[in-house]
Amino acid sequence: MGAQLVWNERYNIGVETIDREHKKLFSILSKLFDFGHQEEKSHWVCQEAVKYFKEHAIQHFADEEEYMASIHYEGLQTHRHIHTNFRERTLPALEKELERTDYSEESVSHFLSVCAGWLIGHTLIEDHAIVSGEKIKQWENLLPDEEQAVMGQTVASLLHSMFQVDPRLLSDCYGGEKFGEGIYYRLIAVSGEKKRWEFFLIFEEKFIASTIGSVMDIKSEAVKAMLMHAAGYVARQFVERVRGCFPSLRQSEIKQEQILTYEQFQMVYEKQSPQFSMLFDTGKGYFAYCVASSDQMQSEGGAYAITENAMEEVRKYLNHDKDKKTAPERKKRLLIVDDSDFMLRTMRDLFGSDYELTTAGSGMSAIRDMAFHRPDLILLDYEMPVCDGKQVLEMIRSDREFNDTPVIFLTNRVDRESVKKALALRPEGYLAKSLPPETIKKEVEHFFARRKTSEKDA
């Protein structure tokens, strides 16, 4: 639990009472992160801080809903549903896990990761929509409560029958928060009417290890690969059983399966408007199940599970993940921010083998990622909708924690006036997207070389 949750002015929405409570909630979680290192205090302090956080969260939700009603905000019902879900499902379930495990480090970590991820995402997206007037698109396709309940019962029943666990629903508005080391599966099915369904199944690694892997001695990479492949098989069987229970899904056929990294999952999922998005605590680890309908196929990379050499694909995925974990100092971390899928794919192909790479399809997604993973360099698209590159950089420069993070703009605009405005924000560079990819890569290499030289001379 070495991370810190840092308050930043970018979280302000401009309503004093709401901003004040947001800051308090961030402060409580930050103290929980800090006390995780103080063994002699952690149990009692965590217990009190969790209680304090819950009390403030509940009061904040009431105050926020009262304010939205006073301004006749049309997204009030969506907000109220999200608040109710977090207050009546997520928080009580997380509390039970803390009590059941006597506030173990793992359960505290779960509490922090779920609450912090939820708070950041909700503050930057749904809460900002209150004052911006933007429609909250992510949750506009959630099905009615009755259908949510049926799907929740179906998934819980399948988890019990397939894994012999007793799951509890933590949330039916799971927003893609990272709750631990996970395995991310994406399955795409197509019906005869060309309607496409996307299924996302996220297994916490310890859940797979304690269920599917309980009869294996998981030490070698070969066994881990077999375990990963077995999890993929189970994911497909799980989706097949769910489809068999619902006529609307029964006529579709699975056409594509992928294993995604968390970054790939995050990039795909933030574009979805799911019908179901559920997070469960199985008692042996966390599991998320999400379903979205789509009119077009989107490919974001990942290891394809339907191949003649599927095991080799899984091994490549595991080795890639292992490299990221064991050699963080050997590779510099790049954050690529661009609303163009084509540009993100180009940048991944260009930098993926030499750098630890994270991508974001929007300014808000980039800011959310930085709260937990500080990059060595950001390549930032200057022209983006909603929150453009200029606004993102202004947010970064206003944050004491991140204001020295280097940024290089990528842009299609190279006229003198645009360049002048961009340089006023103190970026490390300003590169035209029309440059050859090799030139862009060399500029990044030159930046790190110059920085290394200056550090030696200092």
Ranges in the chain, pLDDT < 50 = 1-3, 215-221, 296-300, 302-315, 317-318, 324-328
Q: What is the pLDDT of residue 199?
A: 93
Q: Which residue has the tokens 């496409």?
A: 196
Q: What is the pLDDT of residue 316?
A: 52
Element (H, E) at 430: strand 429-432
* Residue 105: predicted pLDDT: 76
Matching residue, tokens 């149990």: 43
3-6: long-range pairs with CB below 8 Å, 24+: 3/33, 3/372, 4/30, 4/33, 4/34, 4/401, 5/29, 5/30, 5/33, 5/116, 5/120, 5/371, 6/30, 6/371, 6/399, 6/401, 6/402
Q: How far apart are CA 331 and CA 405, in angstroms?
A: 17
Q: Which domains does the chain have, with CATH numbers?
A: 9-132 (1.20.120.50), 145-311 (3.40.1550.10), 327-452 (3.40.50.2300)
Pairing of strands 253-260, 303-304: antiparallel
> Judging by DSSP bridges, how do beta strands 333-337 and 253-260 pair with one another?
unpaired
For position 177, what pLDDT does the model report? Answer: 81
Token pair recorded at residue 70 = 């006073």
C-alpha–C-alpha distance, residues 249 and 190, integer Å: 9
Q: Mean pLDDT in the chain?
A: 78
pLDDT value for 155: 92
CB 170 within 8 A of CB 282: no
Q: What is the pLDDT of residue 307?
A: 38
Rounded CA separation 158/146 (Å): 19
How close are the terminal C-alpha atoms of the chain, in Å? Answer: 32
Give the strand pairing for 276-281 and 168-171.
antiparallel
379 DSSP β-pair partners: 336, 408
pLDDT in tens, 150-170: 899 999 998 988 888 889 888
Nearest to 60 by CA among 20, 94, 92: 20
Q: What is the CA radius of gyration of the chain?
A: 22
Burial class (CB in 10 A: 0-12, 13-18, 19+), 46: buried
Task: Write phi, then psi, for 407 (nearest 5 degrees).
Answer: -135, 135
Looking at residue 409, what is its pLDDT? 87
pLDDT tens sequence across 95-134: 888 888 888 777 877 787 778 777 877 786 778 788 877 6
Residue 170 pLDDT: 86
pLDDT of residue 378: 92
CA distances from 175 to 24, 45, 53, 230, 276 (A): 22, 28, 20, 26, 11
Task: Using alpha carbons, select from 61, 85, 65, 87 the residue that is nearest to residue 276.
Answer: 85
C-alpha distance from residue 297 to each of 220, 280, 292, 439 (Å):
36, 28, 12, 31
Question: How many helices (DSSP H) and strands (DSSP E) are in the chain?
Answer: 17, 12
